[in-house]
Amino acid sequence: MSFERHADYSETWLLPPALEDWVPEDHPARFVREFVESLDLAALGFGVRDGSMGAPSYSADILLKAWLFGYLRKILSTRRLEEACRENMGLIWLLGRHEPDHNTLWRFWKDNKPAIRAVFRQSVRVAARMDLASLVLHALDSTKIQSAASRKGSLFKKPLEELLLRVDERIEELEKEIAGAETRERGGYALTGEHSRMSGRRDAIRAALKELEEEGTRQLQPGEPDARLMKAGPRAALEFGYSGQAVMDEKERIIVACETDNRASDVDQLNPMLERVEETLGRSADETVADGNYGQSERQLAEAEERGREVTVARPAHEGERFHAASFDVDVERRTCRCPIGQKLVFCGTDWNRNRDERRVCFRCPVIEQCPHRQECGNQRKKDGKWQRMLKAGMHRGAADRQRAKQKKASARDALDRRSHLIEPFFGWVKRDFGLPRFTVRGLENVRTQWSMVCLTWNLMRMMKSWRKDGAGRSVAMQAIALDLAAPGTLPRHRTA
């Protein structure tokens, strides 16, 4: 006799089970419902259709719930989300058995991108009200994510210029051959097919170079002009992509600020990211630690000092070398400089650092050829048959020196060690667990919205853990969302023991 269970398709229900019974009390759909219904969607900028013509449209809260639940279930495609609206029990319950199609879902995304990004900021304020963010330690970092478009069909200025030169030379050769043939035959001579092909190719190259000039870049993907070439890792090949910035709070690992741009370097992103934290939460953290790329701009460090922002930025390991430029004692205001062995360097003017967009003071060592440490001293060049040691320091060198002194403290070193363990697992989750090694939308505006949705999804997952722990008082725990969240206000300071 078998004790296995089999489906009985002949079984009928006298009273069908309620849909409410199919969704557990701690189901993510219930959390998404409470979260969305506590928000003032009109104040956030979501459009509301006002008109009596045509069929009734779906409300903004239904479509926002569909997108949020879809991202929690790693559904990024509008067609897959449309399918889930018909088949996923949690989504069926959440949407009240409504079934928006993929076109409706995409139009909602397209028409409400700024409002969707505003929902992320609201999630940060909700988390702070629920005491999930302490503002004691924040970690700032970025990751490179490939664009939806690949390198296929991309344009590069230097190869195009070289190709144009070769094409011009070939056309000139063909025209000389045609002119010689006309002289010998004393009559008309038809253009060759190769000449026509090369002329068409020249026109196409010139058009591509003009497009690059108009965009102000040396490389361009016509299918996604906002994307730029960048590396997604130390051994990764150059690919078109975007840089996803994020600031994470240490207490419950809530993302408190995010942004996306198409710059391969993070040099100028330190203060802009801290400003986004302040816009959302009213102030920055007691201490913000950042990757070394954010500290390459001395001007950014000086600006953070001026605005009272406590920042610790990882510095390159080679700065500890004895004769590294960072080891020289430089006074920019007095135009004086001494090397690590006490030799005075001669001030020889200023120049402009185009990469950092700031002025630098320049010094020269007068005794480098006789110096016993010449082989250890870098940045030498030969001029008029003599070796010279040049040192160039930015106008905000003092801020960089104070940052180096700060990093010698044990508390700063400990904070820097915690940075990588704090925020880098989030980037691994995005690319591996969440499944976003490349963006699924095109254009900087759409990419910014998708990155905000990814960070919002992470926040909702962290908040949902607290919501589930509350047991029977879940609704009470979510009442924090109903507080005045329209203005960030200044949150109370939280201190660690």
DSSP letter string over 341-352?
Answer: TSPBPEEEEEEE
Q: What's the pTM value of the predicted model, to 2 decimals?
A: 0.83
Average pLDDT, the chain: 84
Do the Cβ atoms of 331 and 337 come closer than 8 Å? yes
Alpha carbons 384 and 377: distance in angstroms, whole number:
20
Alpha carbons 310 and 291: distance in angstroms, whole number:
15
Report the length, in residues, of the chain.
497
Q: Residue 36: enclosing H or E segment and its boundaries?
A: helix 28-37
The closest alpha carbon to 404, from 312, 471, 468, 310, belongs to: 312
Ranked by mean pLDDT, the top range of 161-165, 245-249, 332-336 is 245-249
- Helices 270-281 and 298-306 cross at an angle (nearest 10°) of 30
More reliable by pLDDT, 494 or 310: 310
Give the pLDDT confidence of 373-420 residue by residue, as tens digits: 777 787 667 666 677 778 888 888 888 888 888 888 888 888 888 888
* Structure confidence at residue 185 as a pLDDT band (50, 70, 90): low
Least confident piece of the model among 49-53, 135-139, 331-335, 456-460: 49-53
CATH architecture of the domain with range 137-148+227-314+403-456? 2-Layer Sandwich (3.30)
Average pLDDT for residues 179-199, to the nearest whole number? 66
* Structure confidence at residue 495 as a pLDDT band (50, 70, 90): very low
385: Cβ contacts below 8 Å, ≥ 6 apart: none
More reliable by pLDDT, 55 or 91: 91
Alpha carbons 332 and 459: distance in angstroms, whole number:
45
The closest alpha carbon to 127, from 485, 425, 496, belongs to: 485
* pLDDT exceeds 60 at position 489: no
The CA distances from residue 370 to 365, 379, 386, in Å, are: 11, 16, 11
Average pLDDT for residues 104-122, to the nearest whole number? 95
| Amino acid present at 239 | E
Within a 10 A sphere around the Cβ of 27, how many other Cβ atoms?
Answer: 17
Give the model's pLDDT for residue 490: 45
* Structure confidence at residue 494 as a pLDDT band (50, 70, 90): very low
Give the model's pLDDT for residue 93: 95
Do the Cβ atoms of 315 and 292 come closer than 8 Å? yes
Alpha carbons 95 and 391: distance in angstroms, whole number:
65
Q: Residue 181: enclosing H or E segment and its boundaries?
A: helix 157-185
Give the pLDDT confidence of 311-326 residue by residue, as tens digits: 999 876 556 677 778 8
Give the model's pLDDT for residue 446: 95
